[in-house]
Amino acid sequence: MEYSAVWTVIIFSILRVCKVHALLPIPLIILEDKVELNAETKVSCVLPSSDCHCLEVELKIVTKEKLKNCVSHKGNFSNVTCTLDVTKEMNGIELSCEAHFKTKSKPYKLNIQTEPEFTDCSDKLVWLEGQESSFNCQAKGHPLPTVTCEKNNTIYKVEEKFTAMRNMSGEYTCRATNFDTITKPVTVSVEYEPKILSIVVQPSMPVLEGANITLTCEADAVPTPTYSWHPQTPHVTFLNNNRTIQIKEVTSAHEGFYICIAQNKYGIKTLQQKIVVDREEIESATNPALFVQDKNNNRGDTTDAAFSKILALLLSSSLLYYFC
C-alpha cells in the first residue's frame, strides 16, 4: 500500500513535467533576407512567446561556424543576436537555436530557534523629571523576543512613552523573552532642579550678642546642588560644601537677611533667613557675683554666659521688687 502511494506521486510528477515540456515554446532562428559574400550578417534566436516569464530561459545559437558579438535580451520575447562573417564555404550551413529552461521554487528562509540576547541595553539611564522618557533595551533571537522592564510590579514595555517622575528612580529588571528568558539590571536616575526645603538656625532666634550661630541650608535636587550665600559677611566660616555658614561672636553687624542659593544644571532656587541679634545689656543689681561676665570664658562657652545673664536678670527683678 505504501509503495503504491509512492509510485502514484512519482507518476503524477512525471506527467506534470511532461505536460510542462509539451507546452514549452520552440525558439526560432531569424536570418537577414539578403546575405552577401564577405560581409557581416546578423543571426538571431527568438523565443516567440511571452507566457514563460515565470521560467528562466537561456537561448543559444548552435552552428559549427564562429559567431561573435552576441547580445542577449531576457524577459518578454527573450532573444539572442550574434554576428557571422560570411564566406563562400558557408553556403548551406545549418544553424539552430536551443532554449534551455530553468525553473526554481519560491525562496524560503531557514529560521533556527535561538534564545534571547540583549543587543542594545544601557546599564544606566538618566531621565529628567517631567520629560517624556522610555526604556531602550533591544534584543535578538528567534522567535523575536519581547522586552519589558519592571520595578515594584510595575511593567514598562520597551519604547513605551511616559512622563518621568522622581519616584521612578531605582533599579529595574529588564527581561527578553521568547521560548527562553534572560534578565538584566538597569539603574534609572531621575534628575530634577533644586527645591530649598528650609534653613535651619541654631540656636533659634533671637541670638544673644557674642554667641555663635550656624545656618544650614536644606535643599533637594538631583544632581546634588552647589550652595552659596549672600551677602558675604566677614568672619563667616563655610562648612559642608557651603551648605552651612557659621558666625562666631555675633555682633549687630551680622544682623539682616541671609540668602541661601542652591543650583544645579537644571535650575537655581533661593531662600532667605533673617538674623536678629539681642543687644540688651544686663547689669548686676545687688550682687555683682551673680552676673558672670568673663569675656575670655564667653568666647568658649556662649551657652553658660547666656544662662548667667538670664539668671542675673531674674534675681535683679526680685531684689528691686523687695526694696520697693
Please say if the pLDDT value at position 290 is more than 70: no
Confidence at 21, pLDDT banded by 50, 70, 90: low
Sign of CA dihedral 289, 292, 297, 300: positive
Contact 201, 208 (CB under 8 A): no
Confidence at 238, pLDDT banded by 50, 70, 90: very high
* Predicted local distance difference test score (pLDDT) of residue 33: 83
C-alpha 147: how far from chain center: 14
Stretch among 1-10, 100-109, 118-127, 259-268 having the lowest mean pLDDT:
1-10
Reading the block at residue 157, the C-alpha cell is 514595555
Average pLDDT over residues 232-256: 88
Average pLDDT over residues 30-58: 79
Stretch among 3-7, 59-63, 209-213, 260-264 having the lowest mean pLDDT:
3-7
Contact 320, 285 (CB under 8 A): yes
Question: Please, what is the Cα angle at 251 between 247 and 257, to 5 degrees?
Answer: 70
* Predicted local distance difference test score (pLDDT) of residue 134: 95
Please say if the pLDDT value at position 5 is more than 60: no
Please say if the pLDDT value at position 236 is more than 70: yes
pLDDT: is 308 or 295 the higher one? 308
Q: Which pLDDT tens digit goes with each residue over 63-87?
A: 888 888 999 888 777 889 999 998 9
Contact 46, 79 (CB under 8 A): yes
Question: Please, what is the Cα angle at 319 between 317 and 321, to 5 degrees?
Answer: 70
Q: Which pLDDT tens digit goes with each residue over 153-175?
A: 999 999 899 999 999 999 999 99
Strand duo 96-102 + 56-62: pairing: antiparallel
Burial of 14 (0-12, 13-18, 19+ CB in 10 A): exposed
CA 145 to CA 138: how far, in whole Å? 9
Q: Which stretch of DSSP H or E encloses residue 174?
A: strand 170-177
Average pLDDT over residues 124-150: 95
3-class SS of residue 322? helix
